[in-house]
């Protein structure tokens, strides 16, 4: 068998399964020993003590000799039978399994590779070829091997059955030795499943395997099993023997963890949100921009900014593209957006902060009123929420299996509350709040709950924050100087966007900086940028990972970042 | 007039033009002096010496008195006339011009604002309102003021004409005083242009202005004039008096520079390329990913990597998302792409290098052969090139005015050359080259020229680079170990993409690292990532700014980056 596998695996014989032990030699030794004794009997037969044997002794010896001869006969017959059996048991499946050589683009045949998602019982009888992960592999006796095969977020059952002329027991044995998480190339016939396969996403069909080749073998020391990594929390309560995979273990072995059908679905939705965001904005005349992430001066005084060694000087990582977005308004781009990394050197470990995250930022000039920005955001979020529902129903279903969550509720026309209205709502429910007090994380949650109860929505916009709790470049309310033309948006009671109309007049900006205790001299380039005529404008920044986390109610932002970064994690 | 403007400009009276000087007092003094002398003559008329005057003297005095009286009469008449004139010259346009208060979202009327691009002679007679930049402003006498108005990459001529009852000379004077690059709100009637306005993008129509308000005034000290910044190079040869705007001056004042119609068009195309790239990949099942830019270990040995102070430790800025893209293949995402910043700490100032640029990266698993990746790239680039042509014809036209360039030539099925074919082409043209020599920048250019002459294309793919000039993780050619399954793509003779099939087998990767003089222990996490089964895969990274530069033949990559970064530039 070793030779057969080596034939299929020209370049990596070392990785082939260990050859089976050679058949044991036939047990002929006892017969030979008897012969030797018999030869010595041709003269006088002596006993072990050197004396000639008595009649009785001779009789006994003969009996023993006859017994040994019979034994030898039986052994010889058995050996002959075994040899004959083995001669008949040639491996007739050698070209149907094995380990493939490393793919170095040796050839291209353009043969079709099937997607598991496209397999249904209606196609029973078709023979197909596919690449898949071996999610589980289980031998049953020496004639059956069951697989669960996986591609992204689709799984299907596959069966390899020993047959007289195509699938040998050698092949069954090989199949049973494939390590889970190995990539295999399978040739199989689609069959209707005898009963629904509840454990797979394809439930009405299964695969009857004809050929199985290992394309890339997984080590047999996986950091955790994928079936554990994908188990819903409820299962652990039912069966305490199940092994829970800790978040840190997942993140340390993120490549394996990302293979769960749940994570495939989560990051498919993350990608979809970016697509929904962009397609909406492109259709409304926005221009995509790429602004520098290495900047010459620390923005907003340098707190929470990462420092970079830039040749012989220092640079800083951008905390937000806001200043650049504003410059693009000054440069007449009118409507711009950017999706890119944002860096925050905040040394705090919470469920919703990372040191690097993906910002979905936009900025637009306004004709008359910042509510034009809110109108656009309103339509944008409704477009995103409804797009997730309609385009990613399957993904939502898969995520729900592991992390059941209440469907995200939103209104076709988003709720807009003013800050005084929110304060009144809080007070009405017995939560004391000053008029100009900022919302703590805790109060955000309470308010979210009150809003959900009253307005039946998990998404709302809160506008007119007190001026004193917003940055100096925020446009004051023209009718009441205590408030500002600013807004935060919330999903399930947590902030996912912050934005405002910005001050676009240099003189007013200087004045506002001073009132905020910021010396205008320290931000002169920023102020100067408004001296050549800038249209009134507003915008905001959305945290992508937060939107995904809150829409899916995943509780920890690290679950919605491919490779999260926090003060204690820079790897992988 | 000062009062009138102040009425329109409640919050910023200081910025209003200085009030006109008060009318001079009527010259009544000479008449009064004569009266005094006359009164003294009622008794005896005495001369200056105290003696009574002679007849002759009296006669002379009378004559003088009569002369003075006539003079006084004339002066009084003139004064009366002037007063009457001024009384008639009330400013009847006060509500038609002025400086607007800072827009703080005082109100919202939802009035329509027109786009210059939508204005044509066919709409003559319509009254519209729009916001625009004053690109030029020229008084002609005191009854006419000509403007060139601009929105993004559209310009139109506008005329303000004094009339008896609507447009006063005060208004003309105000209009003439508007600084260029100020933002104005204009109300006007569309009129057919008497003759084509060659200097504007709207040539068949002009605007007859009724109202003009300054919304955001530009300083009268612009770093350069936009008409200079947008002049084609040929103009400078024709007229040496024209002032050329140096690239550094442009970049130092990038917000102003980006306002030129040329730059508006350039960055509209840059945005369009990202859109074309993504829509093509989304349609082919790719998932967009966001990989970390701060990484724990310096990739590829730490050369050319920016170091970041990360709390109490160090991080590094990612030079490429390649390792993460590969991990995503290992995590079964199958096809991924990312558009994001890429950081290179190369201390060299060239026309085509920046320390931060935008990478369009993709990675995909392959079924059989890396040519599947080339097939996809081929279709992708043809989609991008044809999309630029069809969607951005107007932008291309605008850029051509300032930077005339030969249209970009490409084939519907892209040319693929192997490295040996390229070497043969070079040798055939008398350029010596070793078989395993890498292409220098100079040789890239020569080869590009040879390819263009022979195959009539500005875009081609060069595959099968010598293994020794590629990174250790490049898959060797299975048929000839001197070469590799790698490729570079070129536009107008310059490299814009580098990629390859990667080694996806841990054992082979270790071996390749060793042969490359890389100690596998130093890249153990990278090698370990391939121990859990990884599909064969390939990909590549495109430099966005290079594609824009070379498509448009703009010669310097800084022209195609909004805020370029090089070893000497971190601002703005």
What stretches of A89-193 show up as alpha helix (H) in DSSP? 169-176
Q: Is B537 a catalytic residue?
A: no
The torsion of the CA quartet A309, A313, A318, A322, rounded to 10 degrees, works out to: -170
B363 CA: distance to closest CA in chain A (Å):
15
The Cα diameter of chain A in Å comes to 135
Q: Between A and B, how many residue pairs show a Cβ–Cβ distance under 8 A? A: 311
Residue of A264, A334, A507 with shortest CB distance to B12: A507
- pLDDT value for B48: 67
d(CA A377, CA B159) in angstroms, rounded, equals: 38
> Chain B within 8 Å of A293 (Cβ-Cβ)?
yes
d(CA B95, CA B7) in angstroms, rounded, equals: 9
- Picking from B567, B116, B43, the residue whose alpha carbon sits closest to that of residue A296 is B567
Cβ–Cβ gap A532/B151 under 8 Å: no
Q: Which domains does chain B have, with CATH numbers?
A: 97-102+110-216 (2.40.50.140), 226-259 (no CATH), 263-559 (3.30.930.10)
Q: For B324, phi and psi rounded to 5 degrees?
A: -70, -40
d(CA B502, CA A182) in angstroms, rounded, equals: 19
| Pair B203, B119: CB distance under 8 Å | no
Q: For B183, phi and psi rounded to 5 degrees?
A: -95, 130
| String of DSSP letters for B118-145 | G--GGGTT-EEEEEEEEEEEEEETTTEE
d(CA B106, CA B101) in angstroms, rounded, equals: 10
Residue of A102, A107, A525 with shortest CB distance to B368: A107
B567 Cβ partners below 8 Å, 6+ apart? A311, B346, B347, B348, B349, B355
Q: Is the pLDDT of residue A347 over 50?
A: yes
Q: For A101, phi and psi rounded to 5 degrees?
A: -65, 160
pLDDT single digits (tens) A17-43: 444 444 444 444 444 444 444 444 455
pLDDT single digits (tens) A446-460: 999 999 999 999 999
Cis peptide leading into residue B572 (ω within 30°): yes
Q: For B323, phi and psi rounded to 5 degrees?
A: -60, -40
Cβ–Cβ gap A570/B310 under 8 Å: yes
| String of DSSP letters for A404-457 | --PPPP--SS-EEEEHHHHHHHHHHTT----TTPPPPHHHHHHHHHHHHHHH--
| Pair B558, B502: CB distance under 8 Å | no
pLDDT single digits (tens) A68-111: 888 988 888 888 877 776 666 789 999 999 999 999 999 999 99
- Burial class from Cβ neighbours inside 10 Å (0-12, 13-18, 19+) for residue B177 reads middle
Distance of CA B135 to the CA centre of its chain: 14
Three-class DSSP labels, B347-382 = CCCCCCCCCEEEEEEEEEECCCCCHHHHHHHHHHHH
Structure tokens at B537: 């895969």
Interface of B with A in 146-175 (CB under 8 A): 150-152
Cβ-based contacts of B370 with chain A (< 8 Å) = 105
A515 Cβ partners below 8 Å, 6+ apart? A472
Give the three-state DSSP class for B510.
Answer: helix
d(CA B566, CA B545) in angstroms, rounded, equals: 14
Q: For A25, phi and psi rounded to 5 degrees?
A: -65, 150
| Pair A415, A457: CB distance under 8 Å | yes
Q: For A391, phi and psi rounded to 5 degrees?
A: -95, -20
What is the pLDDT averaged over residues A398-411?
Answer: 95
- pLDDT value for A16: 40
- Picking from B124, B132, B170, the residue whose alpha carbon sits closest to that of residue B150 is B132
A308 CA: distance to closest CA in chain B (Å):
4
- Picking from A153, A159, A114, the residue whose alpha carbon sits closest to that of residue A136 is A159
Return the residue of B nearest to A215 by Cα: B535
> Chain A within 8 Å of B224 (Cβ-Cβ)?
no
Interface of A with B in 468-487 (CB under 8 A): 475-479, 485
Q: What angle do CA A378, A384, A387 make, to 5 degrees?
A: 135
Q: In what order do the strands lie in the sheet with A494-502?
A: A287-288, A335-343, A356-365, A537-543, A494-502, A486-491, A459-463, A415-418
> Chain A within 8 Å of B317 (Cβ-Cβ)?
yes
Cβ-based contacts of A310 with chain B (< 8 Å) = 306, 355, 570
B98 pairs with which residues across the strands? B213
B407 CA: distance to closest CA in chain A (Å):
24
Residue of A181, A347, A561 with shortest CB distance to B533: A181
Q: Is A498 a catalytic residue?
A: yes
> Chain B within 8 Å of A271 (Cβ-Cβ)?
yes
Distance of CA B44 to the CA centre of its chain: 87
Exactly one of A227, A300, A346, A511 is catalytic; which is it?
A346
- Picking from A281, A285, A373, the residue whose alpha carbon sits closest to that of residue B103 is A373
Give the three-state DSSP class for B458.
Answer: coil
CA distances from B413 to A106, B421, B445, B455 (A): 24, 18, 22, 12
Give the three-state DSSP class for B2.
Answer: helix
Cβ–Cβ gap B507/A182 under 8 Å: no
What stretches of B219-260 show up as alpha helix (H) in DSSP? 226-229, 233-238, 247-252, 254-257
| String of DSSP letters for B35-84 | HHHHHHTTSPPB-TTSSBPPHHHHHHHHHHHHHHHHHHHHHHHHHHHHHH
Helix or strand (DSSP H, E) at A128: strand A127-140
Q: Is A516 a catalytic residue?
A: no
Q: In what order do the strands lie in the sheet with B307-310?
A: A294-295, A313-317, A307-310, B307-310, B313-317, B294-295
Half-sphere exposure of B440 (CA within 13 A, CB side): 8
Exactly one of B444, B498, B516, B565 is catalytic; which is it?
B498
Cβ-based contacts of A371 with chain B (< 8 Å) = 105, 108
Helix or strand (DSSP H, E) at A501: strand A494-502
What is the pLDDT averaged over residues A299-309?
Answer: 78
Q: Is A346 a catalytic residue?
A: yes
CA distances from B27 to A115, A572, B36 (A): 101, 91, 17
Q: Could you state, in chain order, the average pLDDT of each consecutive group of 10 residues for chain B (572 residues)?
A: 40 40 44 45 63 82 89 88 72 95 97 96 98 96 95 95 93 96 98 95 96 96 90 86 91 95 97 97 97 83 85 95 95 97 94 96 98 98 98 96 95 98 96 94 96 98 97 96 97 96 96 91 87 97 97 96 96 89
Cβ–Cβ gap B294/A485 under 8 Å: no
- Picking from B572, B136, B229, B135, the residue whose alpha carbon sits closest to that of residue A529 is B572
Interface of B with A in 230-259 (CB under 8 A): 254-256, 258-259
| Pair B488, B495: CB distance under 8 Å | yes
d(CA A467, CA A503) in angstroms, rounded, equals: 12
| Pair B226, B179: CB distance under 8 Å | no
Three-class DSSP labels, B201-225 = CCCCEEEEEEEEEEEECECCCCCCC
Q: Is A278 a catalytic residue?
A: no
- Picking from B259, B255, B254, B147, the residue whose alpha carbon sits closest to that of residue B208 is B147
pLDDT single digits (tens) A545-563: 999 999 999 999 999 999 9
Distance of CA A10 to the CA centre of its chain: 34
d(CA B268, CA A552) in angstroms, rounded, equals: 35
Q: Is A495 a catalytic residue?
A: yes
- pLDDT value for B227: 86
């Amino acid at each position: 068998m070793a030779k057969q596998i080596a034939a299929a695996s020209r370049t990596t014989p070392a990785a082939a399964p260990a050859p089976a032990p050679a058949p044991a030699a036939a047990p002929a030794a006892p017969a030979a020993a008897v012969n030797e004794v018999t030869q010595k009997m041709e003269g006088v037969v002596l006993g072990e003590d050197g004396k000639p044997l008595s009649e009785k002794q001779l009789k006994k010896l003969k009996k023993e000799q006859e017994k040994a001869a019979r034994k030898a006969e039986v052994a010889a017959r058995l050996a002959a039978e075994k040899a004959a059996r083995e001669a008949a048991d040639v491996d007739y499946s050698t070209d149907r399994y094995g380990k493939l050589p490393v793919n170095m683009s040796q050839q291209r045949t353009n043969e079709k590779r099937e997607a598991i998602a496209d397999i249904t019982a209606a196609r029973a009888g078709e023979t197909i070829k596919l690449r898949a992960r071996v999610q589980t592999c289980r031998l049953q006796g020496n004639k059956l091997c069951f697989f669960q095969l996986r591609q992204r977020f689709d799984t299907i059952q596959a069966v390899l059955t020993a047959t007289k002329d195509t699938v040998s027991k050698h092949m069954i044995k090989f199949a049973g030795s494939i390590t889970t998480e190995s990539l295999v190339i399978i040739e199989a016939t689609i069959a209707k499943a005898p009963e629904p396969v509840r454990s797979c996403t394809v439930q009405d069909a299964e695969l009857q395997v004809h050929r199985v080749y290992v394309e890339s073998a997984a080590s047999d020391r996986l950091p955790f099993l994928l079936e554990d990594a994908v188990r819903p929390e409820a299962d652990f309560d039912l069966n305490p023997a199940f092994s829970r995979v800790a978040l840190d273990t997942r993140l340390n072995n993120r490549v394996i963890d990302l293979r769960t059908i749940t994570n495939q679905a989560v990051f498919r939705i993350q990608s979809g949100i970016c697509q929904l965001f962009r397609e909406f904005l492109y259709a409304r005349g926005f221009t995509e921009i790429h602004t520098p992430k290495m900047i010459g001066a620390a923005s907003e005084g340098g707190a929470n900014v990462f420092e970079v060694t830039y040749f012989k000087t220092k640079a800083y990582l951008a905390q937000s593209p806001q200043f650049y977005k504003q410059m693009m308004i000054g440069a007449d781009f009118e409507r711009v957006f950017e999706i890119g990394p944002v860096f925050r050197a905040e040394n705090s470990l919470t469920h919703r902060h990372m040191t690097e995250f993906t910002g979905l930022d936009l900025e637009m000039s306004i004709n008359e009123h910042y509510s034009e920005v809110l109108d656009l955001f309103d339509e944008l979020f409704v477009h995103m929420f409804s797009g997730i529902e309609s385009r990613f129903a399957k993904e939502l279903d898969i995520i729900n299996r592991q992390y059941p969550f209440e469907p995200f509720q939103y209104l076709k026309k988003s709720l807009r509350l003013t800050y005084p209205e929110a304060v009144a709502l809080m007070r009405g429910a017995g939560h004391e709040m000053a008029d100009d007090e900022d919302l703590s994380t805790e109060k955000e949650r309470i308010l979210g709950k009150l809003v959900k109860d009253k307005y039946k929505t998990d998404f709302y916009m809160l506008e007119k924050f007190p001026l004193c709790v917003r940055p100096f470049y925020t446009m004051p309310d023209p009718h009441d100087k205590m408030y500002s033309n600013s807004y935060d948006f919330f999903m399930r009671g947590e902030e996912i966007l912050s934005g405002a109309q910005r001050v676009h007049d240099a003189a007013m900006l200087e004045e506002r900086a001073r009132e905020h205790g910021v010396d205008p001299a320290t931000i002169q380039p920023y102020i100067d940028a408004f001296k050549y005529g800038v249209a009134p404008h507003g915008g905001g920044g959305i945290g992508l990972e937060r939107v995904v986390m809150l829409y899916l109610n995943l509780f920890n932002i690290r679950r919605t970042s491919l490779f999260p970064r926090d003060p204690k994690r820079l790897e992988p």
